[in-house]
Structure 1
Amino acid sequence: MEAVTMPGPQPKHPSTRARRNRTSTAATLSADPDLDAPKLPTRLWHEQTRAWWRDIWASPMAPEYDESDRHGLFALAVLVDDFWSTDDAKLRKELAAEIRQQRQCFGLTPMDRRRLQWEIERTDEAQDRGRRRRQATQTPAQTGEDPRDVLRAVS
C-alpha cells in the first residue's frame, strides 16, 4: 500500500524554528583589573568578610554591578559578617539561608550565573588545562588506538 501525502504548509526553515531563549542579562564576563572596590562602611569587619569583599570586587561579575547594586552588596556584607562573627549555631543557620537567597541576585555562585546566563570568559590557559585533562582521561577507544596492539604471541 502506498503512503498518501496530504497537502499542507511547507515546514519552516530550521533557523526560523530555533528557540531563542537568551535573556537580556546574558553576557560573557571578564574581570576588570582597573575596577576599584568600594570601601566597606566603617565597622570592625571579620577577616573572612573582608576577604569575601575583595574576592567579589576582583571577580568577573564586578563590572556588571552598578551603583544601585552596591547597597544590596553592603547589606549582604553585613549578613556575611554576622555569619562569621556568631557562635550561635541556630543563628548561623538562619544567616546562611538568608545569604544564599541574597547572593543569587549578584551571580555569586555557578548556579546563579547559569540562571542569569552569565559566562566567565575562558582564558587560553584554562582551555589548555581542560584539553590536557580530557586527553589524560581518554580511553584507548576514544584516542583511536587499538588496545590489542600490546598483545604478543607466546611460544
Structure 2
Amino acid sequence: MPGPAPKHPSTRARRNDPKKGFTSLPAGGRLGAIPPWPLRPNPFMTAQLETARDRVASLQVELEAAEDGRARGRLRRELSKNEMTVATLSLQIEQATDDEVALWDDLWRTPQATVWEDSHSSREVAQYVRWKVLAEQGDLKAAAEARQLSDRLGLNPLALTRLHLEIERADEAETRGEQRRKKATPPTDNKPKGDPRGTLRAV
C-alpha cells in the first residue's frame, strides 16, 4: 500500500519552507514544438483488419469458382459480412488514430509536460494516450490502465502532490513575467533633447 500523500505547501507549518521539495510547473503550460506521435496504429485492430482483408480475397476466389447456386449465395453473404468488417475496422483505426494524436497534442501543452520532457517520458505518455482512447470507447481494462498511468504522469491533483509538483498560480506567473520583461528591457534616457539647430552659429 502506498504511504500517505505529502502535504501540499500551502498546508505546511510556517516555520518550514513552504515550497521545499516541490517543483513549480508553469501555469501557462509547456511551450515549444509538439513531439511526433511515436506509436503505430493499434496492433490488435490492425491484425483483425488484415485477417478480414485476407478472408475477403479468399471468398472472392471461391465465389468465382463456385458453380452451385446455393453455394454462390452463401459465399456472397459471407463476402458481404467480411467486407463490412473491413470497412468498420478501417474506420475505427482511422478515428482512433485521430483521437490519439489530438489527445497527444493537448497533453504536451499542459504544465506537467515540462517534467515529461526533462525525464524523457514520451513513450509513457503515448501509452497513456492509447489506453485513454480505448477507455473512452468503453474498454474497462484500458480504463484501469489509464488510471494507473494518470497517477504516474501527474494528471490529477492528488498525483501532483505525491510527485511533489505544483502548478504555479496565475498571479505568480504574471509577476515573474513582468520581472523578466523589466530585466530584458534596456534603460532609456527620458531627458528631453534640445533642438540640434541651437548649436549652429552664423558665420
TM-score range (shorter-chain normalised) is 0.5 to 0.7
Question: Are 2:31 and 1:33 aligned?
Answer: yes
- 1:28 maps to a residue whose letter is S
1:99-138 equivalence runs, <5 A: 99-124=146-171
Uncovered stretches (5+) of structure 1, i.e. residues with no partner: 1-13, 128-155
> Which residue in the other structure is 1:153 paired with?
none
Q: Find the structure with the greater CA-based Rg.
A: 2
Matched residue count: 104
Structure with the bigger RCO (C-alpha within 8 Å, sep 6+) is 2
- Deviation for aligned residue 1:58: 0.4
1:78-97 equivalence runs, <5 A: 78-84=130-136, 86=137, 89=138, 92-97=139-144
In structure 2, what is the Cα distance between the partners aligned to 1:117 and 1:126? 19
1:1-155 equivalence runs, <5 A: 22-23=20-21, 26-30=22-26, 31-34=29-32, 36-40=33-37, 41-43=39-41, 44=94, 45-65=96-116, 66=118, 68-84=120-136, 86=137, 89=138, 92-124=139-171
Secondary structure in 1 matching 2:34: coil
CA contact (8 A) 1:22 1:117 kept: no
- 2:24 maps to a residue whose letter is T
Secondary structure in 1 matching 2:108: helix
Uncovered stretches (5+) of structure 2, i.e. residues with no partner: 1-13, 42-93, 175-203
- 2:143 maps to a residue whose letter is A
CA contact (8 A) 1:107 1:116 kept: yes
What TM-score results when the alignment is normalised by the length of structure 1? 0.54
- Please tell me the root mean square deviation across aligned C-alpha atoms, in Å: 3.2
Q: 1:60 to 1:20 in 2, by over 3 A?
A: closer
In structure 2, what is the Cα distance between the partners aligned to 1:126 and 1:33? 14
Deviations 1:88-116 (CA, angstroms, capped at 9, x unpaired): x5xx2221111111111111111111211
* The structure with more helix, counted as a fraction of residues: 2
- Of all paired residues, the percent bearing the same amino acid is 25
